[in-house]
Amino acid sequence: MSAAASEQTLLIVDDDEPLRTRLARALEKRGFVVATADSVAAGKSHAAGSPPAFAVVDLRLGDGSGLDVVQALRTARPDVRVVVLTGYGNIATAVAAVKAGAVDYLPKPADADAIEAALMARGAQAMAPPPENPMSADRVRWEHIQRVFEQCDRNVSETARRLRMHRRTLQRILAKHAPRD
């Protein structure tokens, strides 16, 4: 059994105070020893001072990206299990979160049961069941464009060149919301 499995310390990093407080209470009831932070700086400071076994990190924080906190946690404690939460979910950010060291990526609003399940999942349990309603072709196209856009550091001209698409066409696509499934 790893240290993360036997130790129940948890860091919640989210700039939404009501959500952070509600989540902290719910996970304390489930046996976690919870600490909270409301910014990238506070999250990194906590990671350096007393790295937790588990963490729940919001992707977009007021002073930067939650991925910076994920990397700081991984550096301070390689066996940390991190779940990234976001209200701005797409495939590109999910891939970035996993590459930074997150074990899972959940869209907001996520309840405490889903977060606990993601934190504790191991092996075959960690694999999500296949979707009942897979993404539409329009949604897959939109997600691919978003992923390439993120990989090009949100540079419209470079993204358009790589996708072999006119820059203005790409700008119109990026200005729209994701297609509904």
Residues in contact with 17: Cβ distance below 8 Å, sequence separation at least 6, in sequence order? 38
pLDDT for the residue 2: 44
Q: What is the CATH number of the domain that holds 99?
A: 3.40.50.2300
The number of folded domains in the chain is 2
- For the stretch 60-72, pLDDT in tens is 888 888 889 999 9
pLDDT, position 74: 92
Q: How far apart are the first and last CA of the chain?
A: 41
Beta bridge partners of 61: 64
Domain span holding position 152: 137-175
pLDDT at 130: 56
Q: Is residue 56 located within the same domain as residue 109?
A: yes
Contact by Cβ (8 Å): 48, 75: no
CATH of the domain at 163: 1.10.10.60
> pLDDT grade, residue 16 (50/70/90)?
confident
| Mean pLDDT within 35-62 | 91
Any domain includes 105: yes
Condensed to tens digits (0 to 9), the pLDDT of residues 115-172 reads 888 888 765 444 555 556 666 778 778 888 888 898 899 999 999 999 999 999 999 9
119 and 161 in a single domain? The answer is: no
67, 156: one domain: no
